[in-house]
């Protein structure tokens, strides 16, 4: 097949216009096109006058080799790459020890799925509850201010991204097209097919819940096991090799290969791993506040006269500013038409994040406005970043009045350095509520200074961004893992054989898609290791 890119058509084009445009581009007759499928579609809203879709399509034609030769110098006409998933091998016959996977977020789900599809029968240990029960518990904090430290936004079936916007794109290098496998499995599990071809796919929280359940059933159908409310509280290491785990219940499980897909909030587990001698190191992450604007303002700033057009949906943004004090401030996890959510997993702490439904039709846009920090800001070893996160989250709890309400301030007041007393035209969406205050003590001074400098700079990129009534809510601390459980080229821990750190908590992913891809890579490395070890 051939991949033809940059086919541009007005957004209201009839279906037959696409094959006609492709045929014209290639100089062939429409009837010669045996098959056509859209690989990617993005909407170009840069020009105020015309709104166009830009397509990349895969087409099957009789004389592809000839055409490729004719378009040899044209980067927009190429052979379609093989994007099918290729398994690295099948599980050997016989009993063999079953791989253990800790955590059932995207990294753990995809590690388990690939291993199950390869004929291994992985055992997944997840500290939280199955997703339906977990949803009740998560809403318990949002509606009733009751936190279950083992079943919440961070912990439970589906992992941290289950109550999210479900954005499914990433900047990672992916030469083997593992991201495609992730998206295809999501579609099999119930995601809309469009995630395979739209430019910035998202699924919203509602669908994610059903998809996660469906993927669990598939893993079980293939012989895997997924156990909930099974917190791993100890790892057995003998002579530098994994031998098994202890669960919080006291149960012990033997295992020669252990995938740690913990997520970035498993602070107690990181402490346990450090005590067990597993090599870890501090890594950079970001801290900040979450900002809310009317979605209509963002739509107008991004799409101008096209704002509100159904083909465009709710606009997103991505902003970066490099500050005079050397810090960089950027927008993080932007959720168009969504809500700010309470995302703590620990008692008496407040953490913000964002989520939305597939429709993205809530009135506000929200995003983290975060400042990059490095271990130089939190010296003291691998766990020092966690100590800083905890300090900021506890302070936010107190600033919010000590009841899981979040501290908030209007942008105009934040920039002027005065506490907020009244809301303006923007209603905060954070549940269980916000308390208006002064956020200047919510973060270290350098971070407050950087955000104060960045907001007006962002307003120069996106008109209205620094509007007085926009709301800032604090604090955004769980942007990525503050540490890395470092692994070698064989994907195993640097000092413990059989231990496979995976996903965001281990420092190897930063989002649903990249965590899923990392889970696949780890499953492949584990498979290779088993196959190389041979029988017995």
Q: Applying CB under 6 A, which residues contact ligand FAD?
A: 102-108, 125-128, 153, 155-156, 159-161, 163-167, 231-232, 261-263, 266, 269, 333, 341, 343, 353, 355, 503-505, 509-513, 515
Helix (H, G, I), strand (E, B), or coil: what is residue 504? coil
What is the H or E stretch that residue 37 is in? strand 35-44
CA distance 506 to 469: 38
106 vs 300, beta carbon nearer ligand FAD: 106
Rounded to a whole number of angstroms, the minimum distance from the CB of residue 233 to ligand FAD is 7
CB 437 within 8 A of CB 370: no
CA distance 245 to 390: 27
451 vs 522, beta carbon nearer ligand FAD: 522
Reference 228, options 136, 157, 162, 161; nearest CA is: 157
Task: Please report how many Cα atoms fall inside a 13 Å half-sphere around the Cα of residue 382, on the Cβ side.
Answer: 20
Rounded to a whole number of angstroms, the minimum distance from the CB of residue 454 to ligand FAD is 22
Rounded to a whole number of angstroms, the minimum distance from the CB of residue 351 to ligand FAD is 8
Query: Going by C-beta distance under 8 Å and a sequence separation of 6 or more, which residues neighbour residue 459?
Result: 465, 466
105 vs 482, beta carbon nearer ligand FAD: 105
58 vs 179, beta carbon nearer ligand FAD: 179
98 vs 167, beta carbon nearer ligand FAD: 167
DSSP per-residue letters across 470-491:
-EEEEEE--SS-SEE--B-TTS
CA distance 447 to 64: 56
Query: Going by C-beta distance under 8 Å and a sequence separation of 6 or more, which residues neighbour residue 135?
Result: 163, 209
CB 508 within 8 A of CB 501: yes
226 vs 329, beta carbon nearer ligand FAD: 226
CA distance 519 to 508: 10
Rounded to a whole number of angstroms, the minimum distance from the CB of residue 40 to ligand FAD is 18
228 vs 414, beta carbon nearer ligand FAD: 228
Rounded to a whole number of angstroms, the minimum distance from the CB of residue 249 to ligand FAD is 11
Express the helix, strand and coil content of the chain in percent, nearest 5 each: 30, 25, 45
232 vs 301, beta carbon nearer ligand FAD: 232
CB 366 within 8 A of CB 290: yes
90 vs 200, beta carbon nearer ligand FAD: 200
Rounded to a whole number of angstroms, the minimum distance from the CB of residue 15 to ligand FAD is 31
CA distance 484 to 505: 7
How do strand 471-476 and strand 339-342 relate by DSSP bridges? unpaired
Rounded to a whole number of angstroms, the minimum distance from the CB of residue 159 to ligand FAD is 2
Rounded to a whole number of angstroms, the minimum distance from the CB of residue 149 to ligand FAD is 11
DSSP state of 441: G
CB 499 within 8 A of CB 493: yes
Rounded to a whole number of angstroms, the minimum distance from the CB of residue 179 to ligand FAD is 11
């Amino acid at each position: 097949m051939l991949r033809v890119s940059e086919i541009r058509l007005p957004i209201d084009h009839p279906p037959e216009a696409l094959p006609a445009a492709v045929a014209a581009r290639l100089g062939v007759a429409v009837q010669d096109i045996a098959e056509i499928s859209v690989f990617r579609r993005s909407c170009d809203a840069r020009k105020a006058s015309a709104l166009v879709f830009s397509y990349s399509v895969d087409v099957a034609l009789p004389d592809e080799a000839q055409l490729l030769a004719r378009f040899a110098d044209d980067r927009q006409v190429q052979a379609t790459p093989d994007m099918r998933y290729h398994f690295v091998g099948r599980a050997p016959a016989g009993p063999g020890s079953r791989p253990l996977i800790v955590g059932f977020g995207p990294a753990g789900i995809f590690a388990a799925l690939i291993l199950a599809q390869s004929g291994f029968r992985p055992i997944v240990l997840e500290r939280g509850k199955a997703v339906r029960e977990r949803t009740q518990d998560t809403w318990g904090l949002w509606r009733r201010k009751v936190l279950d430290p083992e079943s919440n936004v961070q912990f439970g079936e589906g992992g941290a991204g289950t109550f999210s916007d479900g954005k499914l794109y990433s900047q990672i290098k992916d030469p083997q097209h593992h991201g495609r496998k992730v998206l295809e499995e999501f579609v099999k599990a119930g995601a809309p097919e469009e995630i395979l071809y739209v430019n910035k796919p998202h699924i919203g929280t509602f669908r994610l819940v059903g998809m996660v359940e469906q993927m669990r059933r598939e893993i079980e159908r293939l012989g895997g096991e997924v156990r909930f409310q099974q917190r791993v509280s100890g790892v057995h290491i003998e002579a530098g090799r994994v031998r098994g785990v202890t669960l919080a219940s006291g149960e012990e499980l033997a295992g020669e290969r252990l995938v740690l897909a913990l997520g970035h909030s498993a602070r107690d587990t990181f402490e346990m791993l450090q005590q067990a001698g597993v090599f870890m190191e501090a890594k950079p992450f970001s801290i900040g506040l979450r900002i809310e604007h009317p979605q209509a303002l963002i739509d107008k700033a991004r799409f101008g006269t096209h704002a509100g057009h159904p083909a465009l949906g709710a606009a997103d943004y991505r902003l970066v500013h490099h500050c005079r004090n050397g810090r960089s401030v950027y927008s993080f996890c932007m959720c168009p038409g969504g809500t700010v959510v309470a995302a703590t997993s620990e008692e008496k702490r407040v953490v913000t994040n964002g989520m939305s439904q597939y429709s993205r039709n809530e009135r506000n846009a929200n995003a983290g406005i975060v400042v990059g920090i490095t271990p130089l800001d939190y010296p003291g070893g691998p766990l020092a970043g966690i100590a800083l996160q905890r300090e900021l989250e506890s302070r936010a709890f107190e600033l919010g009045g000590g009841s899981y309400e979040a501290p908030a301030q209007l942008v105009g007041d934040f920039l002027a350095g005065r506490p907020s007393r009244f809301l303006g035209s923007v209603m905060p969406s954070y549940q269980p509520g916000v308390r208006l205050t002064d956020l200047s003590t919510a973060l270290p001074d350098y971070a407050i200074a950087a955000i104060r400098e960045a907001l007006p700079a962002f307003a120069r990129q996106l008109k209205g961004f620094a509007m007085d009534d926009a709301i800032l809510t604090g604090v955004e601390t769980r942007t990525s893992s503050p540490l890395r459980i470092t692994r070698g080229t064989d994907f195993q821990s640097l000092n413990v054989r059989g231990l496979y750190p995976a996903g965001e908590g281990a420092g190897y992913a930063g989002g649903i898609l990249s965590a899923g891809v990392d889970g696949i890579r780890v499953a492949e490395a584990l498979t290779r290791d088993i196959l190389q070890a041979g029988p017995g």
